[in-house]
């Protein structure tokens, strides 16, 4: 972990951004965008998660590559579980 | 070079004997916590997989169940957790700068936010209990069907939504309780002055855990509360 | 460097402290390894006892020893005890715990207290499971398939689920400890390419433990919730999908088999190198194949579900992936064999187990490819063919790897030599007994005898009798090491630092090692398996 001490101003900025994104995602859900509602909700959630990971958890400022590999691997593994399971469910009606 | 106890004297008592130096100990601790968080991603991930499969199969029921949740309480709870992440991040910073009193205040604030989250969650769960939306023998989602008669909702599929709702928010709440417990310990040790700019690893890795629990909620919120809120004709 | 010390006055990890508190509150990875050794041996005999009853029942076509429901419990508990309480911990928790810090030149694992916690979690899980056995057992099959386990079984499913849930966390913590240790605590000069292949394989195993076990944990949790609160997540009459359980269950349980075999491959590399006195052929390939097995192992789980109702398209995908996952394992087998070419081979007990491993693992692995073929799987799924396949790998592979490793490192662990004559006899008995037990089962399965059946048509009896006969020989082969290992701790010939003349940092410290492993912190300037620099021992100090 790096010793880099972040400015509290940056923390407050991220905090405000997270709160705004929360309000946005809740508000957007009332607008009819069809399938895109889900996409936007997940995109916003991912942006929020990235803000927390990169700034609050200091991943942006760490010199440790291994941390990033661990995070990426875990997300990739979850993706494997979801994708290969859906490979079954998504194709059942086809066969 | 000898690995006798002599080397230990030059460091604080927190340096465990099997580590070469404090940096190795801190690097090991943080890597350990990140790996643990990876396991937690897979732990929650199993439930996310179940959620994904059933939402794909029973979209209408999931949407109806989602609509029955209180979006205002959910949004407020999300904001509460975001505030708690802020206080955690500021707390780690306070530890880095050796500001003991500030650290204690921020840790206490984090605990307060955590308890507030659980209080609101308790209120929501109680609402669900009153509405007979708790899975089990007295489950009855007829009110959902009544509200939107043009949409076909199967009671049993609806129960699956609520089973997952309680399982996922319950597991999340359990992690919050553990987090609050950890932070109580951290607060006590911080009060006693145990954390210095040279050694604040427990605060750092406790913070990582807390942020992770926050991130899980960041995903749970839209997936459970915001499936379909558009006004129905 | 530690000199040869023959007297018991020299302090080492066993005599440093006496008393039960010094063992139950130890954070020394070597003592924790021995705690695990005792516990898993206990569970091995429990699982073996269930196997004995199964084989006794199957001596006759009629169901005449136990009732059908009891038989269901026998095979379910045999599977769960052997997998979760014996095989999964075995090599990592015993040999891994003992050797990982020694092999990389560290004083202990990264988190010694978490290591002890891991053992306590295992013990708590074990106690809960024993309670489950005594008070009624579980009859769902080791696989807990829904909706039988969630809605219809009248046995102690929740208790068994909770026990295995806790055991899973023990496994996760062990894996976590190993990964952090291997990344952060290697001695100066111990680069990744100088690591023994034992370490590479345990690293890969730990990755599987970390990423797979949590999914099993949450799945068992859902089963417990469903059963306790009458939910309908896996109940088809209420819109649930039993296959969802199977997807989540096998997402862990297939990689779990690689948790069980990779450490045995770890042992294999060390033993083959030592008793051919050569560097393992294709070090890079063997190291990378361990990682490849760990990764690919996660991509194949639905091959357990080919006839369960998954879509044909996903079945095709999983079938192809299952063929691919065999490749890294085959690479290892080729490399071990190539190592032996023009090597100087000695037929010591560990090497006998290693030879057995290569042959039996290969057979088990190849029959796995039979199962990966969709058409054949329709015919042999849920028959004794499958049982024979996985026992060839788990017993012929993993258990022989475990026994071979125990023998190989026994001098280091205990400071004594086991009796070589008895060791070789036991190895041969295990090999012979194993083949007699399980080869007939391939034929039985192909002929159509289903698994988990308590009675069978009379035409299958001869093969079943052969199988049971083999299991008695196998049992003798397993009991012998228990007896002579215990015997050797008191009467065995005292071992010096490196009785086998093996490469590896663990052989550069005394037998048994001091509590902090090395009198001086090592600095590594040589490659792994530098057998050209190590003279073969003039005489292996064995007891005849």
Which of B16, B46, B135 lies at the smallest CB-CB distance from C218?
B46
When pLDDT is averaged across residues A22-40 and rounded to a whole number, the result is 91
User: Tens of pLDDT along C366-389?
Assistant: 999 999 999 999 999 999 999 999
pLDDT for residue A71 is more than 60: yes
Contacts of C314 in chain A (CB under 8 A): 84, 87-88, 91
Min mean pLDDT across C155-164, C409-418, C429-438, C514-523 is at C514-523
Confidence of residue C540 (pLDDT cuts 50, 70, 90): low
Contacts of C211 in chain A (CB under 8 A): 73-74, 77
> Which residues, 6 or more positions from C531, have their beta carbon under 8 angstroms from its beta carbon?
C273, C274, C277, C278, C279, C503
In this complex, the chains that touch C, judged by 3 or more CB pairs closer than 8 A, are A, B
When pLDDT is averaged across residues A38-58 and rounded to a whole number, the result is 95
User: Tens of pLDDT along C198-221?
Assistant: 999 999 999 999 999 999 999 999
Residues C94 and C174: their CA atoms lie apart, in Å, by 11
Check residue C509 and give its pLDDT.
Answer: 93
When pLDDT is averaged across residues A91-95 and rounded to a whole number, the result is 73
CB neighbours of residue A32 within 10 Å? 12
In this complex, the chains that touch A, judged by 3 or more CB pairs closer than 8 A, are B, C
pLDDT for residue B1 is more than 50: no
Confidence of residue C63 (pLDDT cuts 50, 70, 90): confident
User: Tens of pLDDT along B81-122?
Assistant: 999 999 999 999 999 999 999 999 999 999 999 999 999 999
Check residue C302 and give its pLDDT.
Answer: 95
User: Tens of pLDDT along C333-374?
Assistant: 999 999 999 999 999 999 999 999 999 999 999 999 999 999
> Which residues, 6 or more positions from B223, have their beta carbon under 8 angstroms from its beta carbon?
A41, B48, B51
In B, minimum Cα distance to C221 occurs at B167
User: Tens of pLDDT along B26-58?
Assistant: 999 999 999 999 999 999 999 999 999 999 999
For residue C150, what is the DSSP state?
A: I
Check residue A6 and give its pLDDT.
Answer: 83
When pLDDT is averaged across residues C99-103 and rounded to a whole number, the result is 96
Residues B72 and B123: their CA atoms lie apart, in Å, by 12
What does pLDDT average to over chain C? 94
Q: Does A65 touch chain C (CB under 8 A)?
A: no
pLDDT for residue C184 is more than 70: yes
Distance to chain C for B217, nearest Cα, Å: 17
**Structure token pair of residue C442:** 């391939």
Residue appearing with tokens 């604040």:
B200
Query: Inter-chain contact C248–B36, Cβ cutoff 8 Å?
Result: no
Distance to chain A for C124, nearest Cα, Å: 28
Contacts of B211 in chain A (CB under 8 A): 52-53, 56-57
Check residue C159 and give its pLDDT.
Answer: 96
Q: Give me the sign of the Cα torsion angle C217, C223, C228, C232.
A: positive
8 A C-beta contact, residue C240 and residue C233: yes
Angle at B192 between CA B189 and CA B197, to 5 degrees: 75
Q: Does B43 touch chain C (CB under 8 A)?
A: yes
Which of C222, C230, C239 lies at the smallest CB-CB distance from B154?
C239
Query: Inter-chain contact C310–A88, Cβ cutoff 8 Å?
Result: yes
Contacts of B81 in chain A (CB under 8 A): none
Q: Write out the DSSP string of C82-135.
A: IIIIIITTHHIIIIIHHHHHHHHT-SS-S-HHHHHHHHHHHHHHHHHHHHHHHT
What does pLDDT average to over chain A? 91
CATH superfamily membership of B42-225? Cytochrome c oxidase, subunit III, four-helix bundle (1.20.120.80)
In A, minimum Cα distance to B73 occurs at A26
Gap between the terminal Cα atoms of chain C? 30
Residues A4 and C462: their CA atoms lie apart, in Å, by 74
pLDDT for residue C58 is more than 80: yes
**C462 alpha carbon, distance to own chain's centre:** 31
The pair phi, psi for residue B72, each rounded to 5°, is -70, -45
Check residue B139 and give its pLDDT.
Answer: 87
Query: Inter-chain contact C232–B44, Cβ cutoff 8 Å?
Result: no
pLDDT for residue C164 is more than 60: yes
Residues B162 and C232: their CA atoms lie apart, in Å, by 10
When pLDDT is averaged across residues C311-340 and rounded to a whole number, the result is 96
Residues C254 and B78: their CA atoms lie apart, in Å, by 37
Residues B230 and A65: their CA atoms lie apart, in Å, by 43
Q: Does B6 touch chain C (CB under 8 A)?
A: no
8 A C-beta contact, residue C187 and residue C108: no
Query: Exposed e or buried b for every residue in B151-177, given b needs 16+ CB within 10 A?
Result: eebeebbbbbbbbbbbbbbebbbebbe
Residues C54 and C155: their CA atoms lie apart, in Å, by 19
Distance to chain B for C505, nearest Cα, Å: 17
Query: Inter-chain contact C110–B167, Cβ cutoff 8 Å?
Result: no
Distance to chain A for C251, nearest Cα, Å: 7
Q: Does B61 touch chain A (CB under 8 A)?
A: no
Q: How far is CA C445 from CA B165, C65, C220, C380, in A?
A: 44, 22, 30, 6
ipTM, two decimals: 0.93
Boundaries of every domain in chain A: 1-60, 64-95
Q: Write out the DSSP string of B95-108.
A: HHTT-HHHHHHHHH
**Structure token pair of residue C273:** 């190198």
What does pLDDT average to over chain B? 90
Q: Does B20 touch chain A (CB under 8 A)?
A: no
Percentage with pLDDT > 70 across chain B: 94
Number of A/C CB contacts below 8 angstroms equals: 39
Min mean pLDDT across B78-87, C5-14, C197-206, C409-418 is at C5-14
- Residue C416's beta-bridge partner residues? C494
Percentage with pLDDT > 90 across chain B: 75
Let me know how long chain C is.
Answer: 544
Which of C210, C238, C244 lies at the smallest CB-CB distance from B53?
C244
**Structure token pair of residue C267:** 């042992």
When pLDDT is averaged across residues A34-59 and rounded to a whole number, the result is 94
Check residue B5 and give its pLDDT.
Answer: 42
Q: Does C184 touch chain A (CB under 8 A)?
A: no
Which of A77, A80, A95 lies at the smallest CB-CB distance from C313?
A95
Distance to chain B for C13, nearest Cα, Å: 15
Residues B206 and B151: their CA atoms lie apart, in Å, by 46
CB neighbours of residue B197 within 10 Å? 12
When pLDDT is averaged across residues B190-217 and rounded to a whole number, the result is 95
Confidence of residue B16 (pLDDT cuts 50, 70, 90): confident
**Structure token pair of residue A91:** 């194709």
Closest CA to B190 of B87, B85, B92: B92
Q: Does B41 touch chain A (CB under 8 A)?
A: yes
Does the domain at residues C29-508 carry the CATH identifier 1.20.1440.230?
Answer: no
Of B1 and C404, the one with more pLDDT: C404
**Structure token pair of residue B71:** 């979006």
In this complex, the chains that touch B, judged by 3 or more CB pairs closer than 8 A, are A, C
Angle at C251 between CA C318 and CA B62, to 5 degrees: 100
Q: Does A26 touch chain B (CB under 8 A)?
A: yes
Contacts of B204 in chain A (CB under 8 A): 1
**A82 alpha carbon, distance to own chain's centre:** 16
Boundaries of every domain in chain B: 42-225
> Torsion-angle region of residue C512: left (phi > 0), alpha (psi -120 to 50) or beta?
beta
DSSP-derived 3-state class of residue C543: strand
Residues C70 and C74: their CA atoms lie apart, in Å, by 6
Residue appearing with tokens 């034992």:
C198
**Is residue C512 reached through a cis peptide bond, with omega within 30 degrees of 0 on the bond before it?**
yes
The residue among C13, C173, C214 with the most chain B CBs within 10 A of its CB, best to mutate, is C214
- Residue B196's beta-bridge partner residues? B199
CB neighbours of residue B224 within 10 Å? 20
Contacts of B28 in chain C (CB under 8 A): 110-111, 180-181, 184-185
Check residue B2 and give its pLDDT.
Answer: 39
């Amino acid at each position: 972990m790096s010793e880099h001490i972040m400015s509290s101003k940056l923390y407050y900025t991220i905090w405000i951004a997270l709160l705004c994104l929360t309000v946005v995602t809740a508000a957007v859900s009332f607008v009819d965008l069809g399938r895109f509602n889900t996409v936007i909700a997940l995109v916003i959630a991912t942006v929020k998660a990235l803000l927390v990971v990169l700034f609050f958890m200091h991943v942006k400022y760490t010199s440790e590559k291994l941390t990033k590999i661990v995070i990426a691997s875990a997300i990739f593994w979850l993706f494997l579980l979801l994708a290969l399971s859906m490979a079954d469910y998504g194709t059942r009606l086809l066969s | 070079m000898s690995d006798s106890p002599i080397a230990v004297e030059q460091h604080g008592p927190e340096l465990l004997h099997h580590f070469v130096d404090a940096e190795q100990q801190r690097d090991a601790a943080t890597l350990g916590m990140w790996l643990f968080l990876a396991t937690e991603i897979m732990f929650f991930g199993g439930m996310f997989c179940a959620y994904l499969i059933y939402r794909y199969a029973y979209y209408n029921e999931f949407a109806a169940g989602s609509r029955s949740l209180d979006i205002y309480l959910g949004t407020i709870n999300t904001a509460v957790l975001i505030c708690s992440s802020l206080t955690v991040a500021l707390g780690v910073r306070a530890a880095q700068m050796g500001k003991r009193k500030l650290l204690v205040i921020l840790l206490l604030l984090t605990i307060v936010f955590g308890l507030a989250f659980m209080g609101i969650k308790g209120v929501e769960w109680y609402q669900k209990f009153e509405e007979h939306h708790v899975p089990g023998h007295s489950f009855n989602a007829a009110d959902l069907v009544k509200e939107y008669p043009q949409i076909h909702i199967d009671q049993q599929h609806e129960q699956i939504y609520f089973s997952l709702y309680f399982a996922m928010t319950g597991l999340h709440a359990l992690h919050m309780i553990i987090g609050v417990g950890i932070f109580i310990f951290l607060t006590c040790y911080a009060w006693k002055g145990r954390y210095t700019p040279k050694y604040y690893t427990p605060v750092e890795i406790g913070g990582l855990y807390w942020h992770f629990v926050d991130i899980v909620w960041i995903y749970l919120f839209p997936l459970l509360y915001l499936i379909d809120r558009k006004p129905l004709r | 460097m530690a000199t040869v010390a023959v007297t018991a006055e020299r302090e080492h990890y066993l005599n440093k402290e006496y008393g039960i508190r010094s063992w139950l509150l130890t954070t020394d990875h070597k003592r924790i390894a021995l705690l695990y050794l005792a516990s898993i041996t206990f569970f091995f005999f429990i699982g073996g006892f269930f196997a004995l009853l199964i084989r006794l029942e199957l001596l006759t076509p009629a169901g005449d020893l136990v009732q059908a429901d009891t038989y269901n419990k026998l095979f379910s508990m045999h599977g769960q005890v052997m997998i979760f309480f014996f095989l999964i911990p075995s090599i990592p928790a015993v040999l891994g715990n003992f050797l990982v810090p020694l092999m990389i030149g560290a004083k202990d694992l990264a988190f010694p207290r978490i290591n002890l916690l891991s053992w306590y979690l295992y013990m708590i899980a074990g106690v809960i499971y024993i309670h489950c056995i005594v008070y009624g057992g579980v009859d769902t099959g080791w696989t807990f398939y829904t909706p039988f386990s969630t809605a219809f079984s009248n046995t102690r499913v929740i208790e068994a689920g909770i026990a295995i849930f806790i055991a899973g966390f023990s496994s996760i913590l062990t894996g976590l400890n190993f990964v952090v240790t291997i990344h952060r605590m290697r001695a100066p000069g111990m680069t990744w390419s100088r690591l023994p292949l034992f370490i590479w394989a345990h690293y890969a195993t730990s990755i599987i433990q970390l990423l797979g076990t949590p999914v099993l944990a949450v799945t068992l949790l859902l089963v417990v919730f469903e059963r306790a609160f009458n939910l309908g997540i896996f109940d088809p009459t209420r819109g649930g999908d039993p296959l969802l359980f199977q997807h989540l269950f096998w997402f862990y349980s297939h990689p779990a088999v690689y948790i069980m075999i990779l450490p045995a491959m770890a042992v294999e590399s060390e033993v083959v190198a030592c008793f051919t006195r050569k560097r393992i052929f294709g070090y890079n390939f063997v190291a990378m194949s361990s990682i490849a097995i760990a990764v690919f192992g996660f991509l194949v789980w639905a091959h357990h579900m080919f006839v369960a109702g998954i879509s044909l398209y996903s079945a095709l995908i999983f079938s192809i992936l299952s063929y691919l996952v065999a490749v890294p394992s085959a690479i290892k087998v080729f490399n071990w064999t190539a190592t032996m070419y023009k090597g100087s081979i000695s037929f010591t007990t560990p090497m006998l187990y290693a030879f057995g491993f290569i042959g039996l693992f290969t057979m088990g692995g190849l029959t796995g490819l039979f199962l990966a073929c969709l058409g054949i799987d329709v015919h042999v799924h849920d028959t004794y063919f499958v049982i024979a396949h996985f026992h060839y790998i788990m017993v012929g592979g993993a258990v022989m790897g475990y026994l071979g490793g125990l023998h190989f490192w026994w001098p280091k662990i205990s400071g004594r030599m086991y009796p070589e004559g008895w060791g070789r006899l036991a190895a041969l008995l295990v090999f012979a007994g194993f083949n007699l037990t399980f080869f007939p089962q391939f034929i039985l399965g192909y002929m159509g005898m289903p698994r988990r059946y308590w009675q069978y048509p009379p035409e299958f009896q001869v093969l079943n009798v052969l199988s049971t006969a083999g299991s008695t020989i196998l049992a003798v082969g397993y009991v012998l090491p228990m007896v002579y290992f215990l015997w050797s701790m008191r009467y065995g010939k005292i071992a010096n630092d490196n009785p086998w003349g093996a490469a590896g940092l663990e052989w550069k410290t005394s037998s048994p090692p001091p509590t902090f492993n090395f009198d001086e912190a090592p600095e590594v300037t040589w490659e792994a398996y530098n057998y050209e620099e190590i003279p073969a021992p003039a005489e292996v100090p064995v007891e005849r």
